Amino acid sequence: MLDACYYSLIERAEDGRFLGWIPDLPGATASGRTEDEVVQQLSQSARQQLHDLLMSGQPPPPARPVDALPPSEGRREVRRLLLIIG
């Protein structure tokens, strides 16, 4: 499989846990006690989704540029992290 790059969004919930998702790969979500845990889960989820798409003959979805990602809402700060999936 070719390498793919997607931005993930990670925020800290009110209970202190981290929540993450990849807007261009619906269903690629994660939560955990640490940001590193969320990044690992997101990478695994994205890798599996891309594998499933390729095995079914579907092209991977295009990735948005960072300036097209959803903005932070309200007081919550959302970190943007580029994931390289290979």
> What would the pLDDT profile of 11-57 be if each residue is shown by its tens digit?
999 999 999 999 999 889 999 999 999 999 999 999 999 999 999 99
Total structural domains within the chain: 1
Give the pairing type, strands 18-21 and 29-32.
antiparallel
Backbone angles phi, psi at 61, to 5 degrees: -70, 150
**Domain containing residue 52:** 4-85
Separation in Å, CA 33 to CA 17, 36, 38, 74: 5, 9, 8, 22
- Per DSSP, what are the bridge partners of residue 4? 85
What is the value of pTM for the model shown? 0.85
Say which CATH number the domain at 79 has: 3.30.160.250
Q: Which two tokens stand for residue 52?
A: 């499933």
